[in-house]
């Protein structure tokens, strides 16, 4: 076999090893978050278009989360803020807070566990974060995004820990104390 043939074989083996290591690393990060993470609601800011269609590949997205239970469950506030953030994508802003947020939403590179606290002057409330999440299709109804939010898990006290979706069982309220179903009743 010519040298180029051996080079191709060698590169193929290296590629397979890298993929296996990456998958094992992701699985380990997910397992940790699944064991230690707290349930919350993540409000979609932007996501790969493929997540809105049928498919098999899991994908990252950008969401809003809050460690404050009331804020996390305020659909009107969080969806309006998500829209306001998307309007800043790629914009040059005069306001420093808007420029900061514009930079966050414009950079589409996924960074596992990345979450940035939004300036209170911009968000209007404390403890609101723009976060990178890994969305598992098996955790979504019909295995695609069809809502403005995802149920997710986050380890609040460990920045840099993977933020990921959790299995879908209807919309869940965010709670640092419990994980009760939100069936739409106000009881």
Per-residue model confidence (pLDDT) at position 68: 93
pLDDT tens figures, 51-92:
999 888 989 999 999 999 999 999 999 999 999 999 999 999
Position 177 pLDDT exceeds 50: no
pLDDT-based confidence at residue 98 (cuts at 50, 70, 90): very high
From the number of C-beta atoms within 10 Å of its C-beta (0-12, 13-18, 19+), residue 45 rates as buried
Domain ranges in the chain?
A: 1-36, 38-165
Q: Which of 17-26, 61-70, 77-86, 97-106 has the lowest mean pLDDT?
A: 17-26
Q: How confident is the model at residue 163 (pLDDT cuts 50, 70, 90)?
A: confident
DSSP three-state, residue 38: strand
Residue appearing with tokens 């640092």: 176
Q: Are 81 and 64 in contact (CB under 8 A)?
A: yes
105 Cβ contact list (under 8 Å, min separation 6): 45, 46, 62, 85, 86, 88, 89, 130
What is the per-residue pLDDT for 64?
Answer: 96
Instruction: State the pTM of this model.
Output: 0.76
Q: How far is CA 169 from CA 142, 152, 159, 179, 182, in A?
A: 12, 12, 27, 11, 10
d(Cα 43, Cα 37) in Å, to the nearest integer? 17
**Dihedral angle of Cα 106, 110, 115, 118, to the nearest 10 degrees:** 10
pLDDT at 83: 96
Contact 95, 111 (CB under 8 A): no
Which residues neighbour 87 within 8 Å (Cβ) at sequence distance 6 or greater?
none
In sequence order, what are the beta bridge partners of 131?
Answer: 63, 115
Average pLDDT score over the chain: 83
């Amino acid at each position: 076999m010519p040298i180029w043939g051996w080079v191709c074989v060698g590169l193929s083996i290296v590629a397979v090893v890298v993929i296996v290591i990456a998958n094992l690393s992701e699985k380990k990060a997910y397992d940790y978050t699944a064991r230690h993470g707290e349930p919350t609601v993540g409000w979609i800011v932007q996501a790969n278009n493929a997540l809105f269609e049928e498919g098999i590949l899991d994908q990252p997205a950008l969401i809003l989360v809050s460690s404050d239970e009331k804020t996390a469950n305020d659909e009107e506030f969080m969806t309006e803020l998500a829209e306001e953030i998307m309007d800043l994508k790629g914009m040059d802003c005069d306001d420093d807070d808007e420029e900061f947020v514009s930079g966050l939403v414009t950079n589409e590179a996924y960074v596992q566990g990345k979450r940035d606290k939004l300036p209170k002057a911009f968000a209007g409330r404390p403890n609101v974060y723009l976060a990178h999440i890994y969305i598992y299709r098996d955790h979504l109804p019909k295995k695609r995004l069809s809502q403005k939010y995802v149920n997710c898990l986050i380890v609040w006290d460990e920045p840099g820990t993977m933020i990921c979706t959790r299995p879908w069982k209807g919309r869940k309220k965010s709670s640092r104390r419990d994980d009760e179903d939100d069936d739409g009743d106000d009881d």
